[in-house]
Amino acid sequence: MDWLRDIIDYVPANIDQLRELTGNHLVQAILPIIFGVLLAVPLAQLARQNRSLAGIMLTGSSILYTIPSLAMFVFLPLILGTSILSMVNVVVALTIYAIALLMRSTVDALNSIDDGVRQAAVAMGYRPLRRFLTVDLPLSVPVLIAGVRVISVTNIATVSVGALIGVPSLGRLFTDGLTRNYPEQIAVGIIFTLLLALVLDLLLVLLERLLTPWTRPTKASEADDVALDARTVAA
């Protein structure tokens, strides 16, 4: 079990580097989630109000979603004028994926809200913006968070790929580990990546409970999570 010992010893011996890379990794994974939500919700609302626009946006975003991350990381500097080493490329690429995935599920969520609820809000004198922010949006939080959870897990895994083109993240432990013939270092990178994904997911579950105090967590939300892959593609 020497290798296990090596893995455990690696962490305290390289704590500064790990802290730095984890920080870089988190920023590149979390910023796209925030930007994704902030952009996808208004876009989804826009799509619901204009059918032809909706078709264009949904098709466009699903094509963007298909473009592999490495190609996107390489290509974005051309369009943005950023350095190829810049974290901005990774953040923008992952934001695009997040919007593509969230927009569709947000449209579905907003569409699924009972008209009776909306009409009740209108009857109470809510203007459209207020109704959207205080009725429609909170009611679609569970679907939104289910999407965000999928994005956060894939983001954490995808950020590593940036290391191939020199963007700092936990992925550097993989590239450096290969050149140094150091499988333990790669293993540490994998374990840290898994832990980050787990912690972020727990925080999101917590966030959902805080934002939707009227629901109790049900078995159904777990099944939703599993079905999301199939659903986004099947839809």
Closest to other proteins by CB, 52 or 181: 181
Report d(CA 11, CA 13) in Å as an integer. 5
Q: Which two tokens stand for residue 47?
A: 């799509």
Q: How far is the CB of 120 from other proteins (least distance, A)?
A: 9
Q: Which residue, 104, 220, 100, is CA-closest to 154?
A: 100
Cβ(45)–Cβ(108) under 8 Å? no
Please calculate the CA angle 114-115-121 and round it to the nearest 5 degrees.
105
Give the relative orientation of helices 15-49 and 141-159 as an angle to the nearest 10 degrees: 140
Closest to other proteins by CB, 42 or 75: 75
Report d(CA 74, CA 159) in Å as an integer. 13
State the sign of the Cα–Cα–Cα–Cα dihedral 53, 55, 63, 170. Answer: positive
Report d(CA 177, CA 220) in Å as an integer. 41
Cβ(94)–Cβ(32) under 8 Å? yes
Q: How far is the CB of 97 from other proteins (least distance, A)?
A: 10
Closest to other proteins by CB, 26 or 46: 26
Closest to other proteins by CB, 43 or 189: 189
Cβ(124)–Cβ(135) under 8 Å? no
Q: Which residue, 13, 71, 21, is CA-closest to 174?
A: 21
Q: How far is the CB of 103 from other proteins (least distance, A)?
A: 15
Closest to other proteins by CB, 129 or 233: 233
Closest to other proteins by CB, 99 or 174: 174
Cβ(146)–Cβ(102) under 8 Å? no
Residue with the two structure tokens 């209108």: 122
Q: How far is the CB of 41 from other proteins (least distance, A)?
A: 15
Q: How far is the CB of 44 from other proteins (least distance, A)?
A: 14
Q: How far is the CB of 43 from other proteins (least distance, A)?
A: 19
Closest to other proteins by CB, 81 or 129: 81
Q: How far is the CB of 128 from other proteins (least distance, A)?
A: 18
